[in-house]
């Protein structure tokens, strides 16, 4: 096993600008988070989101709106449910235009490929694609998919996609508690759609 693969990062912050400019930008972002009475753990997460965003998309035209959007996203992790504050309320609290907040939230989630879950009231919650939560979800899905494929091919157990999804969700929600139960319906739809594609080429 190659130890160099552990902890690999895509934060190449000096590719498009000078270290001095980037350091100043990140310090300004951290100052904004501090002035907004944000928990320390949220500050660091939001700062990481900002750093990854400027690595991918470059410096924004409106740093305050980008900072606010990063905070909005990290305040809407699945574990924060129930969180039914609107973008309008969030924008007003941080004194940024709602349209700017909305644009940068969309830009961040698109550029950084955040996984979005919705609760029963259709409020969004965000999962970092290269974060712990998504890694656990992906690993659990992979294990059950591989086991189902080999059992189906060996004719040990009839393949039933809904049964596979139920097992996956029971593991994620009931046993591992990696996501709250309120997201079961949306996660079911997303995993089923992925598995339909996964098994499209498999002869089971």
Residues 39-83: tens digit of each pLDDT:
888 999 999 999 999 999 999 999 999 999 999 999 999 999 999
Last residue of a domain, one of 109, 127, 145: 127
Q: How many domains does the chain have?
A: 2
Q: Which domain holds residue 139?
A: 132-198
CATH of the domain at 42: 1.10.472.10
pTM for the structure as a whole = 0.87
Q: Using one digit for the tens of pLDDT, what is the confidence trace for 104-156?
A: 999 999 999 999 999 999 999 999 998 999 999 999 999 998 898 888 888 77
Q: 103: number of CA atoms within 13 Å, CB side?
A: 12
The answer to whether residues 25 and 116 belong to one domain is yes
The answer to whether residues 90 and 177 belong to one domain is no
The answer to whether residues 102 and 30 belong to one domain is yes
């Amino acid at each position: 096993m190659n130890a160099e693969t552990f902890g690999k990062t895509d934060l190449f912050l000096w590719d498009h600008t000078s270290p001095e400019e980037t350091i100043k930008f990140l310090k300004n972002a951290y100052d904004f988070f501090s002035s907004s009475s944000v928990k320390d753990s949220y500050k660091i997460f939001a700062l990481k989101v900002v750093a990854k965003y400027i690595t991918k998309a470059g410096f924004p035209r409106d740093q305050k709106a980008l900072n606010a959007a990063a905070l909005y996203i990290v305040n809407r992790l699945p574990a924060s449910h129930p969180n039914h504050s609107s973008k309008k309320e969030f924008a007003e609290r941080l004194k940024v235009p709602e349209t700017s907040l909305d644009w940068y939230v969309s830009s961040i989630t698109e550029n950084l490929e955040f996984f979005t879950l919705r609760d029963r009231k259709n409020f969004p919650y965000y999962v970092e694609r290269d974060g712990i939560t998504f890694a656990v979800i992906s690993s659990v899905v992979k294990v059950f998919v591989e086991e189902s494929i080999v059992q189906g091919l060996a004719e040990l157990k009839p393949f039933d996609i809904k049964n596979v999804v139920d097992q996956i969700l029971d593991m994620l929600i009931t046993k591992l508690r990696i996501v709250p139960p309120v997201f079961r319906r949306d996660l079911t739809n997303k995993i089923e759609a992925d598995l339909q594609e996964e098994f499209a080429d498999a002869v089971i």
